[in-house]
């Protein structure tokens, strides 16, 4: 039991990665569509590249989406609407008519008797309500057939047989003219107008149910291909009827292969493919990005983003596959580039798109567009902390999507008359969604404890609390840090390293000197040296401790690990030579271990640059009469000495890059120490 616990303790990082690998694979298999993969790839408008294809089994030819939509629309257009007929309304209308007649009829005003008015009104009411009265404005022709529902009985009528209120004036005029009672026309019209109530109303629910039933009964097939029948010959163009038959075969094949008998084998196949993708990701990180591979938080972050993209795509495809291009897949390489580097972003993007190929329709078209868009994202998005850069890059990505989709459509259809313009809107929405990268980066920083260039920009502000404290307590160190930051930033730009990261690292690399500023020469305001009365070992310990103290201060102020790395490594495992030599001079011997910084040595280009810039800038302050030759010799001597000590062995930096850095340091220092014109007093 003890040995088992010891094994888990020693290999907990590896065990976690295995666990992450298994869980991610299972989750993705669950999300993948439950159907076999058709073994032929084809595109509309392209020649059939395989041998003659014969039907492996009998199957039905599916109607195309366009045909089905057309037939469904015909059903809607030709459907017979249902109307509810209320038989009780006529009684209420007659009662209201008689009441209004009693109130408004005056004998002295009309020659026609009240009884005649009553008789004429009752006749009009009976005639109006014989087929029903409706005041709804509906888009039906007069000849449109309708169903009139009276209780449990349904009668057929023409829509024109329903009485409309707009016809009331005409109806009253006909009645009074026929009965030679023109003097009561206004009265009769007003009485009926006030009394009439509609008793026929469209039954939307019943009408829609009838339409739905007809659509449901619609046959999705238009024919059958018998087993052994030739479907397409080699070299034939996949278009029209051939394309629809191939799509039908593909759907039938995927439906039949996902059966209980071979369910397990299909799972095995999916497991192997998904496992290969994740295995390639692990191998890439282990070989080329070991710092990420050994950091479980960063590995989890990458896997989380891959799973998130697959999950969102699966969700959208289930809702409506046309919206698949709205998902901002390019946000993945953009975010990974912000936290890591372009190669990691592109590699993970490619693997993710390969997984999405199992899910989306028209997988070749989709993967091609996403690959190109991902490459454009990596090539265009730089200095993400500059807001304009993100907008420009998103515009370029959206343009690439539109151009690529347009090209595919022209190849497949051979014309642009029927191109679905709304799809271009999806690409624009995708671009707008990609702008969500900034808030998402902030969220990831808080959730995973990572740091991006956006955060680095905030940390580079010299008015921040920690840097202000440094400038107040150790002004000499603060000035030294600013100079080092300028030298390091210029060097990083020269070799293509992360200039913002190295600048921030340079600003904070000496914050440990705040606790004992006068023990460092740059902060001593007079000729008194605090080290003169101290033992060389004690002096060396104070000097070395500024690294440890700096790390403590950085952690207390929640500085990111990427910045703390510069504090840890800016002296590597070098020797505090001055006090080492002084100890040897006094004692006749000295133990090197007492005078060596704890390290580690730089493990990135950026930390290596800081070591060079820091040492060169500090040493240049001791030059009494600096000249171009002296400065160049100083830079060569210091950097070469660091190389001889093996300080850059883990830094992934080349000799050529070191030479370029030397050249930048020489140029910058010469600019600082250039001779000025002596002005007369």
SS (H, E, C) 258-296: CCCCCHHHHHHHHHHHHHHHHHHHHHHHHHHCHHHHCCH
Burial of 416: CB neighbours in 10 Å, binned 0-12, 13-18, 19+ = exposed
Q: Give the integer Cα–Cα distance in Å for 328 and 217.
A: 38
185-195 and 114-131 helices, crossing angle to 10° = 50
Model pLDDT for residues 49-84, shown as the tens digit of each residue? 777 888 877 778 888 778 888 888 999 888 999 999
The Cα–Cα gap between 528 and 458 comes to: 38
Q: CA torsion sign, 25 to 280 to 561 to 454?
A: negative
Mean pLDDT computed over 121-134: 89
The encoded tokens of residue 9 equal: 């303790």
Instruction: Flag whether pLDDT at 449 surpasses 70.
Output: yes
DSSP character for 652?
A: -
The SS3 call for residue 221 is: strand
- Report pLDDT digits (tens) over 612-626: 999 999 888 878 777
CA distance 326 to 266: 30
Architecture of domain 453-672: Orthogonal Bundle (1.10)
Average pLDDT over residues 309-328: 89
- 65-97: burial string, b at 16+ Cβ within 10 Å, e else: eeebeebeeebeeeeebbbebbeebbeebbebb
Q: What mean pLDDT comes out for the span 227-240?
A: 80
Question: Is the model's pLDDT at 523 over the cut of 90?
Answer: no
pLDDT tens profile 429-442: 998 888 888 888 88
Looking at residue 679, what is its pLDDT? 45
361-373 pLDDT tens trace: 888 889 999 999 9
Using pLDDT thresholds of 50, 70 and 90, give the confidence band for residue 675.
very low
Q: Which neighbouring-strand residues pair with 596?
A: 575
Residue 59 belongs to what H/E stretch?
Answer: strand 59-62
Report how far residue 425's alpha carbon sits from residue 273's, in angstroms, rounded to the nearest whole number. Answer: 34
Q: Is the pLDDT score of 258 beyond 60?
A: no
Nearest of 519, 474, 491 to residue 659 by alpha carbon = 491
Hey, where are the domains in the chain?
Answer: 2-27+262-428, 37-63+220-257, 82-202, 453-672
**CA 450, CA 501: separation in Å to the nearest integer?**
13
Query: What is the reported pLDDT for 613?
Result: 94
Helices (H), 414-514: 422-434, 437-448, 453-459, 465-473, 475-495, 499-508
366 contacts 405 by C-beta, under 8 angstroms: no
pLDDT digits (tens, 9 = 90+) for 88-112: 888 888 899 888 888 888 877 788 8
Q: What is the pLDDT of residue 8?
A: 65
Least confident of 118-122, 375-379, 486-490, 621-625: 621-625
The DSSP secondary structure of 495-511, one letter per residue, reads HT--HHHHHHHHHHTTG
Cis peptide before 600 (omega within 30 of 0): yes
pLDDT at position 611 over 90: yes
pTM, full prediction = 0.63
pLDDT at position 36:
59
Q: Which long-range contacts (CB under 8 A, 24 or more apart) does 306-311 make?
A: 306/24, 306/281, 306/332, 306/348, 306/351, 306/352, 306/355, 307/24, 307/27, 307/28, 309/352, 309/356, 310/28, 310/31, 310/352, 310/355, 310/356, 310/359, 311/31
Instruction: Give the per-residue pLDDT at 105.
Output: 83
Check whether 676 has a pLDDT greater than 60: no
Phi-psi region of 32 (alpha: psi -120 to 50; beta: other; left: phi over 0): beta
- Separation between Cα atoms, residue 419 and residue 634, nearest integer Å: 68
Share of the chain above pLDDT 90, in %: 30
Q: In the 8-state DSSP scheme, what is residue 596?
A: B
């Amino acid at each position: 039991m003890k040995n088992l616990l010891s094994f888990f303790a020693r290999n907990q990082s590896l065990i976690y990665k295995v666990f992450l690998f298994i869980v991610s694979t299972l989750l993705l298999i669950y999300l993948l569509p439950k159907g076999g993969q058709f073994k032929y790839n084809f595109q509309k408008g392209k020649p059939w590249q395989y041998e003659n294809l014969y039907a492996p089994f009998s199957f039905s030819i599916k109607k195309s989406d366009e045909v089905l939509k057309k037939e469904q629309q015909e059903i809607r257009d030709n459907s017979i609407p249902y109307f509810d007929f209320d038989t009780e309304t006529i009684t209420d209308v007659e009662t209201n008519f008689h009441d209004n007649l009693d109130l408004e009829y005056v004998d002295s005003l009309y020659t026609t008797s009240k009884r005649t008015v009553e008789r004429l009104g009752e006749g009009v009411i009976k005639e109006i309500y014989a087929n029903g009265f409706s005041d709804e404005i509906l888009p039906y022709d007069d000849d449109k057939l309708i169903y009139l529902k009276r209780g449990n009985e349904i009668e057929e009528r023409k829509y024109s047989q329903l009485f409309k209120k707009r016809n009331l004036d005409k109806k009253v005029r006909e009645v009074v003219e026929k009965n030679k009672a023109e003097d009561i026309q206004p009265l009769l019209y007003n009485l009926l107008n006030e009394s009439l109530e509609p008793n026929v109303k469209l039954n939307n629910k019943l009408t829609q149910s009838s339409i739905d039933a007809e659509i449901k009964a619609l046959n999705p097939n238009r024919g059958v291909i018998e087993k052994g029948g030739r479907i397409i010959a080699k070299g034939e163009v996949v278009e029209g009827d051939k394309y629809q038959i191939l799509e039908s075969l593909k759907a039938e094949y995927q439906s039949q292969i996902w059966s209980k008998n071979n369910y397990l084998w299909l799972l095995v196949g999916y497991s192997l493919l998904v496992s290969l993708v994740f295995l390639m990701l692990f191998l890439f990180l282990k070989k080329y990005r070991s710092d990420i591979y050994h950091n479980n938080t960063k590995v989890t972050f990458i896997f989380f983003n891959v799973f998130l993209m697959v999950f969102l795509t699966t969700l959208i495809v289930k809702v409506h596959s046309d919206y698949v291009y709205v998902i901002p897949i390019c946000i993945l390489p953009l975010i990974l580039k912000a936290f890591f580097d372009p190669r990691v972003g592109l590699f993970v993007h490619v693997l993710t798109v390969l997984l999405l190929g199992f899910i989306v329709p028209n997988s070749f078209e989709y993967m091609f567009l996403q690959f190109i868009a991902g490459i454009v994202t990596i090539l265009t998005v730089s200095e993400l902390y500059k807001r304009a850069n993100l907008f420009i890059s998103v515009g370029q990505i959206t343009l690439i999507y539109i151009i690529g989709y347009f090209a595919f459509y022209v190849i497949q259809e051979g014309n642009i008359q029927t191109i679905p313009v709304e799809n271009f809107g999806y690409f624009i929405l995708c671009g707008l969604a990609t702008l969500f990268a900034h808030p998402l980066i902030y969220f990831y920083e808080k959730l995973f404890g990572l740091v991006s260039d956006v955060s680095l920009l905030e940390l580079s502000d010299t008015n921040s609390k920690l840097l202000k404290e440094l400038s107040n307590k150790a002004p000499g160190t603060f000035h030294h840090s600013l100079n080092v930051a300028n030298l390091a930033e210029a060097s990083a730009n020269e070799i293509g390293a992360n200039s913002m990261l190295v600048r921030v690292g340079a600003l904070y690399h000496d914050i440990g000197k705040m606790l004992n500023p006068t023990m460092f020469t740059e902060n001593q305001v007079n000729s008194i040296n605090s080290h003169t009365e101290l033992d060389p070992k004690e002096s060396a310990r104070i000097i070395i401790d500024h690294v440890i103290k700096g790390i403590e201060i950085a952690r207390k102020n929640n500085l990111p690990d990427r910045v703390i790395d510069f504090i840890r490594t800016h002296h590597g495992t070098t020797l505090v030579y001055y006090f080492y030599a002084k100890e040897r001079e006094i004692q006749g011997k000295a133990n090197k271990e007492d005078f060596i910084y704890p390290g580690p040595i730089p493990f990135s280009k950026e930390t290596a640059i800081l070591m060079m810039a820091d040492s060169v800038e500090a040493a240049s302050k001791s030059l009494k009469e600096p000249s171009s030759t002296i400065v160049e010799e100083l830079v060569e001597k210091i950097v070469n000495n660091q190389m001889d000590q093996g300080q850059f062995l883990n830094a992934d930096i080349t000799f050529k890059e070191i030479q370029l850095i030397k050249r930048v340091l020489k140029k910058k220092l010469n600019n600082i120490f250039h001779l000025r014109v002596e002005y007369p007093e």
